[in-house]
Amino acid sequence: MESHDSGSERSIPENVVVDSFRPEDAEGIVRLFRAVYGEHYPIRLFYDPGAVTAANREGRYYSIVARTVSGDVVGVTHLYRSTPCDAIYEHGVGLVLKAYRKSGITGRLHAYLYNDFVPRRPHIEEIFGEAVCNHPYMQKAVAAFGFSETAIEVALMPAEAYTREKSAPGRVATLSVFRSFRPRPHRVFLPAVYEDVLHRIYGRLDDSRDLARSVDPFPPGRVSRAGMTVFDFAGVARIAVPVSGADLGNRLALLEREAGDKGCVVFQVWLNLTEPWAGASVEALREAGYFFGGPLPRWFDGDGFLMQKILCPPDFESIVLESDFSRELLAFIREDRERVA
C-alpha cells in the first residue's frame, strides 16, 4: 500500500476523473510508473501495457485510475490477490504524478475504492495494505477509512525503488493494516510468548475472534507444508506454512539456504494461527532467529501470523509511524529481535 502523494491537500483539479480501469488506461499507467520510479519498481508487470490490461481483465488486479479529461493517467491505486486466501485482497501500488500531488487525488481514489467499488463486489471480503514507513501520509489516509494496524514488516522494500525521488536512505519498512468488509469470526491460538501483545492487537480489529492460548505440541507424524516465493529484485523470500509439524525447523533451513543463494536478505514466514500448536511453530522459528511481525487476519481464510528475519542492518530510527499504537508495536518488535538474536 504505497502512495507517492503527501502533505496537506488542496482541492482536486476539475479536469480529473476517478474511475475503474479502461483498456486505454494501460499505456498511461506504464508512463506514470516510469515518471515516478524510473525503471526500478520491483513489480515488472507495471512496465508492460499488455500485462496491465490482462491482469485487470482476469481479475488478478483491479486498477482504480485518476485521469484527466484528455485521458492522461495522473494517479492510480490497485487491489490485487497476494495471499493464500482468495477472499482477501491487497490494496497497494498507489502513486500520483508529482504535479498533481497534494490535490486530493489519493483521497478520491480511496473513497471510490472503499465506498463504491468494493461494496459492489461481494467476493472481496477483506482488504489489507502495506503502508510504507518512509513517510506518514498513507498511514493517515487508511486510518481515515477504518483500517487497523496489525504488523510491521522490517526492511521489506529495496532502497532502489526510492532512488529516483530520493525519498528513503535505505530499505523501507511497511505497516500492515487490515479492514474487514464481510466478517468471519473464528478461533485462533495465541503463542504464549506473544499472548499479551496479540490480545492488544486483536482488541483493535473490526472482526471478532475466539482467542485461545496455544499449549499443544506438534502432533506425532505431522509433516509441514511450506511454499516459498522469492522476489529477486527486492531480495525478499516469503514462506507460507499453512500446515506445520515437528519438521518445521529443518524444512525452513532448506528453504532459507535456497533463498540465500538467490541473494535474499529478508525472510518472512507466515504461520497458521488456527493450528492449536501454533506456539510450538513460533518457538521453532525463534530458535532459528525469527522475531515478531504480527497477526495477518484471514490470511489462510483463518488468521496467519508473520515471523521475520533480516540479514541486513535494520534502520529502526528511519521508520516513520503515525499512530501511538504502531510506535508501541515497533518498540516491541525491536525488543523481540534483540531477544532472539
- Cell, residue 70: 484528455
| Residue 2, domain member (yes or no) | no
- Cell, residue 204: 483493535
Contact between residue 272 and residue 295 where contact means Cβ atoms under 8 Å apart: no
The domain spanning residue 274 has which CATH number? Answer: 3.40.630
Number of domains in the chain: 2
The domain spanning residue 149 has which CATH number? Answer: 3.40.630.30
Contact between residue 209 and residue 189 where contact means Cβ atoms under 8 Å apart: no
312 and 190 in a common domain: yes
300 and 230 in a common domain: yes
- pLDDT of 4 reads 56
20 and 161 in a common domain: yes
In DSSP terms, 68 is beta-bridged to 16
48 and 169 in a common domain: yes
207 and 149 in a common domain: no
Render pLDDT for 31-87 as a digit per residue (tens, 0 to 9): 999 999 898 887 889 999 999 999 999 999 999 999 999 999 999 999 999 999 999
154 and 108 in a common domain: yes
195 and 154 in a common domain: no
Render pLDDT for 125-180 as a digit per residue (tens, 0 to 9): 999 999 999 989 889 888 889 999 999 999 998 866 665 555 556 899 999 999 99
Q: How many CB atoms lie within 10 A of CB 110?
A: 21
By residue range, what is the domain housing residue 231? 186-316
- Cell, residue 44: 515488472
